[in-house]
Amino acid sequence: MQADYVIVGAGSAGCAMAYRLSEAGKSVLVIEHGGTDAGPLIQMPAALSYPMNMRLYDWGYKSQPEPHLGGRRLVCPRGKVIGGSSSINGMVYVRGHAGDYDHWAESGADGWSYADVLPYFKRMETWHESGQGGDPDWRGNGGPLHISRGPRNNPLHAAFVEAGRQAGYPVTDDYNGEQQEGFGPMEMTVYKGRRWSAANAYLKPALKRPNCTLIKGLARKVVLENGRAVGVEIERGGKVEVIRANSEVILAASSLNSPKLLMLSGIGPAAHLAEHGIEVVADRKGVGQNLQDHLEVYMQVASKQPITLYKYWNLFGKGMIGAQWLFTKKGLGASNQFESAAFIRSRPGISYPDIQYHFLPIAVRYDGQAAAEGHGFQAHVGPMRSPSRGAITLASKDPKAAPNIFFNYMSTEQDWEDFRACIRLTREIFAQEAFAPYVKHEIQPGADLQSDAEIDSFIREHAESAYHPCGTCKMGRADDPMAVVDSECRVIGVEGLRVADSSIFPRITNGNLNGPSIMTGEKASDHILGRRLPSSNAAPWFHPEWENAQR
């Protein structure tokens, strides 16, 4: 088995690269440990809490005990299925803020400023909302990835946006367009009522070409000869074999598994590799370091009116929604229910938003457990740019062993200040006139938790990952000792090997990471093919008073 390019991981970035490289006439082999994404639990948007909690589709990882969160081990779902995490995620589509990518470029990822990445976001999208306000000039209309919005029929969605306006925040028609900051509609990767994962958008069309093949197997390590990657050792059907790459090997195995594979292959911090008896091929101390994530809490409010999705929270209701979706691909089953959103700044002096809201017209946990209160609604809220950094390390040199995942959440005083601001600013939004007909009382944290110490205790017990791990194979300049790949995604110090997935992000972007991960695959493909789209000269919006005003 051999091809020009061997891609490890059929996730968000891997699928995009398989599509673009095969489109350009290259032969491509994609290695994926997981199986098919067929079936309603993945394809039905409203069923999103199921695949995320199924070992069939999820690697089942957990963090190490987190010392600043009371020693809790947080779940860390990653997709083990074609489409990767885009097949088990919440389908929320956020590009990130222009300031995120400009920061990447300033920190050494040359050619990845917002002007450089915007053309790739436009190339990958087909945007379905041009009649609904928003920014058609900033959006794509011919790409494989379909982006839509929910119907926002529930009056609570409008109440959330109006409450933001009443509190003095901007309203934005399109947070993925010129202006991210403000309250407005949320976007999702849903098309014709189905989850539009990277598998549906990119991989399945690519596999129809004769030069693209999918192999089911567990990647064990990259095979290196004389400092050059020549293939990937995989295990399938109980046998170990090598898949040869004529041109390059590309790791797109996630921010947890890409650094693990590099280390198993002898690329990483020399002392750590030596502990596990792995021969060092390239001493790159940044491999596995710089781990970042978004942490959030669910602010839940009991509803005065029985208008929330709780009325469907029973076997009959779920059965009705499921049946309608199966036969028509319409109704509540066709939305992830995240239909209103906001991005705001926590304090003056911050140039672009550092808090994100997902609004949901039901009080429920991510794992599908409803609040005991019955009718309610909630906002997921958390800071976007935590200064805390964690690491991925090897637990063992056995390729089947999970890596050690340590986020080191909430390890700085700034984390706590930012999170307290999130909770207090959210309470202020829920206290606006727009919510008066609906707010009964605060379920969680609960109105009696007011002091810093009480709020901190709530965060320690209840903060959850938003499942946005990234940063563990940082992109940067060759003279940066912590950089793992250069700005063309080539692993520094090894020939014929690239990494292209969320692990290469120098710093986490605003919002959900599926969009930026797919963009990374799109842009990496052009680096591999020796071409690039011309930069954009669009000027994104920053609040004119950001230095002196919080809103």
Are 538 and 144 within 8 A, CB to CB?
no
Binding-site members for FAD are 81, 89-92
Do 230 and 252 sit in the same domain of this protein? yes
Q: Which of 13, 11, 116 is nearest to 498 (CA)?
A: 13
| CATH number where 92 lies | 3.50.50.60
User: What is the pTM (predicted TM-score) of this model?
Assistant: 0.97
478 — pLDDT class (breaks 50, 70, 90): very high
Provide the pLDDT for residue 53. 87
403 is a domain residue = no
Residues 143-153: tens digit of each pLDDT:
999 999 999 99
What would the mean pLDDT of 413-437 be, rounded to a whole number?
98
pLDDT tops 70 at residue 366: no
Domain assignment of residue 66, yes or no: no
Q: Which residues are annotated as a binding site?
A: 81, 89-92
Report the chain's mean pLDDT, rounded to a whole number.
96
Q: Looking at the structure, do residues 450 and 494 belong to the same domain, yes or no? A: no
Q: How confident is the model at residue 370 (pLDDT cuts 50, 70, 90)?
A: low
Q: Are residues 176 and 286 in the same domain?
A: no
* Percentage of residues of the chain with pLDDT beyond 70: 98
Give 227-240 pLDDT, tens digit per residue.
999 999 999 999 99
Selection from 508, 403, 386 nearest residue 63 by Cα? 403
pLDDT higher than threshold 90 for residue 371: no
In the predicted structure, residue 483 carries a pLDDT above the cut 70: yes
Are residues 130 and 265 located together in one domain of the fold? yes
The reported pLDDT for the residue numbered 133 is 66
Q: Which of 412, 416, 428, 415 lies closest to 455, judged by CA?
A: 416
Q: Is residue 202 part of a domain?
A: yes
239-251 vs 282-283, strand pairing mode: unpaired
Q: Give the DSSP H/E element, type plus range, for residue 295.
A: strand 295-303
109 with 243, same domain? yes
Which residue in this structure is represented by tokens 């997921």?
380
Q: Quick one: pLDDT band at residue 368, thresholds 50, 70, 90? A: low
All residues at 6 or more sequence positions from 474 whose CB lies less than 8 Å from its CB, including other chains: 286, 289, 290, 480, 482, 483, 484, 485, 504, 505, 506
How far from 343 is each of 154, 246, 421, 457, 493, CA to CA, in Å?
21, 45, 14, 25, 39
**pLDDT mean over 108-116:** 98
Percent of the chain topping pLDDT 90:
94
Residue 395 domain-assigned (yes or no): no
Q: Which residue has the higher pLDDT, 363 or 531?
A: 531
Which residues sit opposite 249 in a β-bridge? 6, 497
Q: How far apart are CA 308 and CA 133, in angstroms?
A: 26
The predicted pLDDT at position 49 comes to: 87
Spot the catalytic one: 97, 294, 468, 543: 468
Instruction: Indicate if 217 and 359 belong to the same structural domain.
Output: no
Can you give the residue range of the structural domain that contains 214? 1-61+78-150+191-292+470-538
What DSSP character marks residue 376? E
- Residue 323's φ and ψ, nearest 5 degrees, are -65, -45
**The pLDDT value given to residue 364:** 83
Note the pLDDT tens digit of each residue in 200-233. Answer: 999 999 999 999 999 999 999 999 999 999 999 9
Q: Which pLDDT score is estimated for 367? A: 65
Q: Quote the pLDDT of residue 401.
A: 98
Model confidence at 129, pLDDT cuts 50, 70, 90, reads confident
> What is the domain-level CATH number for residue 443?
3.30.410.40
pLDDT for res 416: 98
Rounded CA-CA distance 134/86 in Å is 25
Residue 21's closest CA among 536, 531, 534, 485?
531
DSSP-assigned states of every residue in 132-190: SSS-GGGS-BSSSEEEEE----SHHHHHHHHHHHHTT--B-S-TTTT--SEEEE-EE-E
Q: Does 273 lie in the same domain as 303?
A: no
CA distances from 453 to 56, 383, 420, 450 (A): 41, 18, 10, 8
Q: Which two tokens stand for residue 71?
A: 């020693």
The residue type found at 449 is: L
Q: Quick one: 425 and 452 in the same domain?
A: yes
Domain end: 433, 462, 491, which one?
462
Number of domains in the chain: 2
Q: What are the structure tokens assigned to 171, written together?
A: 């309203």
Residue 405 maps to a domain: no
Contact between 246 and 239 under an 8 Å Cβ cutoff? The reply is: no
Boundary of a domain, candidates 435, 462, 489: 462
pLDDT-derived band at 373 (thresholds 50, 70, 90) equals confident
Q: Is residue 530 part of a domain?
A: yes
Nearest to 392 by CA among 504, 255, 222: 255
468 among known catalytic residues: yes
